[in-house]
Every structure is written in structure tokens, then in C-alpha cells.
Structure 1
Amino acid sequence: MTLHHVSYGDGVPVLALHGWTPDHRLMTGCLEPIFAELPGYRRLYPDLPGMGQSPAGDIDSSDGIQAAVRAFIDEQIGTEPFIVIGESYGGYLARGLVAERPEQILGLGLVCPVGKLVHSERTVPEHVVLRTEPGVVESLTEGEDFTDLAVVQTAAALAAYRSDVAPGLAVADTDALDRIQRNWALSIEPESGPVYTGPTLIVCGRQDAVTGYADQFALLPHYPRATFAALDVAGHNLQLEQPELFGALIREWLQRLPSAATSG
């Protein structure tokens, strides 16, 4: 299976994996403003199977999605060292890739990552709204679910949601995703092997009512070079709600990757 993708720039490959249901625009929207100012990186943004413009085919498990990602890496990157960034479910897949290819992956970035895969087992706070602007909620059209997760309900956050998140949600193959979710766990647990010693970033939203922040703290022993940040006034779409702090953390993480930093 060939995954639909977009790519930008030249240099060290950066594989960006979006979360469950949206498409590559979830990642381009928050990462391209950062990487556009940093030469030396080739950014690859695939649509995962059943999402965006990548068909699911007969895939019926996360193992099947991971196999498609693995084939994409072999096709687009080969054996070249690369960086991987994953958001939510994409972070789960990224952790699985690190377990498979620790020597090839220069660094791991996790944004609002899944800590515990089963929703009922997660430690998550109640949804709250901490920042609003007049008229934003009133401007929503029928069917827009922006307020379901938004901790920051401002015009800027809504505009980013409409450009980065909503388009993917609208085109996802929900039947295929329901089928895949019945076999959601990877056969090989991401942290079942040796610790990963590459520079790592784990950034969570303190008010994230989907994946939370507490369960991810338990990942730290497996990633001894991880920065762990739980951002206040940030939910599951923290990259939309705290873009400046998000950008600063991504840039600092990239600076901890000497092979990547010197290649540009």
C-alpha cells in the first residue's frame, strides 16, 4: 500500500504521524511554521490508512497500519537515519517504530501521546474551558464539534481547528476505523525492548480529557533522554492552544539532535 503524503524541504527526514481520524494536515498545520524557519529537514506527512486520502484496503488492525507505515519508510527513507514525531495515536505508532528501529531513529517526539491504549483505563481530567473570546462559540456552524475538546476557545484556535483538524475528520473512513479499532493494540508493546537513548520530547496537555498527562509520566524510565512537559491551558489539541510554547519545545528538542542539526 502506498500512503498518500505531502513533503517539504530537503535534508534529514522527519516523519510526522497524525492521530486517530484526522489526516496529515493535523501535523503540517503545527509543524510547518516551525520547520519553514529551519533549513536541513525533509518533512514527510503521510495520511494513515483509512484517513485522509489513504485507503484502508483490507487492514483490520494497528499491526496493519504499522506495516503500511513501515513500507512507507522503506520507500521514502530507506536506511537513512530519520526523526519521528507522532501525535496521539500517531505517537503510539512512533513508539512502536522506535522499538523496531532504535538505531535508525535519531529522535522521538510525542505530542499528546496515548499513554494507555484502552480509553476506560486512562487517567484523564474532566473537560474544562480556561480561555474564551466573545462570539467564538456563537460563530460555530451546525455540526462543528470544536467545543468538544477545546480548552482554549478563541478565534485563532478555531481557525486552526478548521484548517488542521476538521478537514481530516470529514473524510475519514469511519467503517474501516471501527474495524481496525477492534484490534487496536500492536502485537509488540512499544516499550517491551531495551530503553531508547535518543533525544525525546513528550509534551502533554494538563487539561487533556482524551489522553491526559499522568499515564505518560510512566514512560520516562524507558526514555532516559526525554523532556516531559505538561502544559497548562492546553487540551488534546495543545498545538493549537499553546502554539508558541509548543514551537519552543520542538525547537529545543531538535537542537538536542546533533546528527540532524549539523547535516543542514
Structure 2
Amino acid sequence: MFLLALIALPLASAAADLHRHTIATGDGAIEYLDWGSGPSIVMIASLGRGAEDFEEVASGLADRGFRVIAPQPRGIGQSTSPSNPMSLHDYAADVAAVIEQTGTGPAVVLGHAYGNTVARTLAADRPDLVSGVILVAASGRAPLDKDVRAAIAKASDLSVPAAQRLQSLEVAYFAKGNDARVWLDGWYPDLQKRQWKAFNASKPDEYITAGGRVPILDIQGEEDAVIPGRYSQDLRRELGERVSVVVIPHAGHALIPEQPTAVMNAIADWLRLLQRSSRP
């Protein structure tokens, strides 16, 4: 039985506005986007992308009575660029600083794609701040296909013609028939390079245990080219029953812009299940 530090699930509220705030850290500043009020969900964006990717899902969850906070990675918006190379632990520490300064912990922490490694590192480094982890299109120990890796690199290379980038987006990120044009913009190549370095310098065991005892929701896209379906149960096999797996049809690695309502429903259903499980 899992216990989650959340109050009873709230009723829907009026449409929530987006607010932007900036906090000071010891070596700069971190901007975060903030929707709604209530139990907190902290969201960490995908490789080379910013917190704006969460706007539709975050707004929808805020309308259901949650507070959603999404820190901007360093180098985006008012989040200052790092002066030194960063590790996954450094990226996790930035998120921890936002949780601490907003007084929202312990919180459910969601990581999309690359962001899942930061979310799990945070749960391992600061279990006092994390009550649950949601993984969206998460990598684990699955190897990355070389053609998919090449498509990921080309999709975010702003020197490549848009038509070629669109093809790469369709190969790496989107299920067949979904509109990949929504991700033609919103890329930060310098951030992506820094994040790759942090990822390649880490070992999966540094983050994959996700902090020991917290419950995990593993949301997957049925047509994810980065993490194919044959790996869908790997994390549950490794970590056991604290992992709940939800596979969303007609979605790839981008997942959130492809099926935002299904992602919102999966999150809300999981929180309700955890609430029932925590009752005496």
C-alpha cells in the first residue's frame, strides 16, 4: 500500500491563469511557470525544450484543482545559463530549490522524456521533497536506436530545413498521423547539448530507483519509437508493484502534445487510486 502526501482530490475550479515567477539561487536564478492552486505537481520538460510544453496539460490539471509548477531549465527565459557543466544532480537541485522556496513539498514530480531522469534523480537525492513520481515517455535501460538518435538530433537542429526537421520529428517523436508541426518550434539546441552531456556522464543506477519507496506512474506512448513497446514492463519488473503502467494509444515519444487529455486522465486516475489505497 502506498501513501501519498496529498489531500483529498479537489473539485474542478474555474480556469486557472498562468503566472511566471523567478527565484534566486546561489549561482543565479530559476524561472518557473505556475498554474492553479491545491496539491502540487512539479513538471520537468523534455530534452532541449521548455516548460511551455506543459501549458495545455497543466492548465487542465489546474482546472481540476491542482497547482502545477514547471521550472524552466537554465538558459531559457529568466533561468540563468550555467557557468559550469551541469550534472543530473545539478538539474535536480534547481527543481528542489523551486519546491523549497514555494513551500510546495513534498510534491508529485513529473518528468517528460529526458525530464524523467531529472525527476528520478531528484527523488533519489531529496526524498523529503518528493511524494510520488510520474514518468511520461521515460527512458530506462533500453538502448536508443541509432536511426532514432540521428532523427532526434536533426529534429532540433535549427540549421536544417523545416521540411527535413518535420520528417525527423515524425520518425522520433510522433505517432503516425499525428501533427508533428507543433514541435517545429520551442527548441533550445545549446540546452540540449548540455543536457546530453549530463545524461551521458551519469549511470542509470543513480536515478532509476526513484528514491526508494515512492509510488511511480509510468505513462507510455503505444507508438513510442524511442522506447519501443517491448520495454513497456521493464521498470515494473525491476521495481515491483509500486510502479503503475499506463499505455496511451496513438501516441509517440512526444505524447503530451499528441494526447493531452489522455495524459491528464491518467494522472488524475492514478492520484485517485493512491488516495483510496492510503485510506485505513
Kept in 2, the 8 Å contact 1:15–1:44? The answer is: yes
The residue that corresponds to 2:192 in the other structure is: 177
Q: Which amino acid aligns with 2:93?
A: A
CA separation in 2, counterparts of 1:191 and 1:237? 21
Query: Is the counterpart of residue 241 in structure 1 residue 258 in structure 2?
Result: yes
Shift of 1:18: 0.7
1:214–1:189 distance in 2 versus 1, CA, 3 Å = farther
Query: Is the counterpart of residue 10 in structure 1 residue 37 in structure 2?
Result: yes
Q: Which TM-score applies when normalising by structure 1?
A: 0.73
Q: Which runs of 5+ in 2 are unaligned?
A: 1-27, 150-160
Query: Is the counterpart of residue 101 in structure 1 residue 135 in structure 2?
Result: no
Shift of 1:230: 2.8
Kept in 1, the 8 Å contact 2:217–2:270? The answer is: yes
1:76-103 Cα shifts (integer Å, max 9, x gaps): 236x321111101111111112222335
Q: Which runs of 5+ in 1 are unaligned?
A: 128-141
Equivalent of residue 71 in structure 1, options 82, 97, 116: 97
The residue that corresponds to 2:241 in the other structure is: 224
Shift of 1:125: 10
CA separation in 2, counterparts of 1:99 and 1:206? 28
Q: Which TM-score applies when normalising by structure 2?
A: 0.69
The residue that corresponds to 1:143 in the other structure is: 162
Shift of 1:8: 1.4
The residue that corresponds to 1:138 in the other structure is: none
Q: How does 1:1-264 map to 2 (within 5 A)?
A: 1-33=28-60, 35-39=61-65, 41-62=66-87, 63-77=89-103, 80-116=105-141, 121-122=143-144, 143=162, 145-147=165-167, 148-149=169-170, 150-154=174-178, 157=179, 162=182, 165-169=183-187, 172=188, 174-184=189-199, 185-186=201-202, 189-192=206-209, 195-198=212-215, 200-215=216-231, 217-220=233-236, 221-222=238-239, 224-258=241-275
1:59–1:68 distance in 2 versus 1, CA, 3 Å = farther
1:218–1:176 distance in 2 versus 1, CA, 3 Å = same
CA separation in 2, counterparts of 1:202 and 1:193? 12
CA separation in 1, counterparts of 2:97 and 2:75? 16
Residues paired across the two proteins, number: 231
1:215–1:48 distance in 2 versus 1, CA, 3 Å = farther
1:95–1:151 distance in 2 versus 1, CA, 3 Å = same
CA separation in 2, counterparts of 1:153 and 1:193? 34
Kept in 1, the 8 Å contact 2:139–2:227? The answer is: yes
CA separation in 2, counterparts of 1:36 and 1:176? 28
Superposed CA RMSD: 3.2
Kept in 2, the 8 Å contact 1:20–1:89? The answer is: yes
CA separation in 1, counterparts of 2:148 and 2:253? 12
Identity %: 23
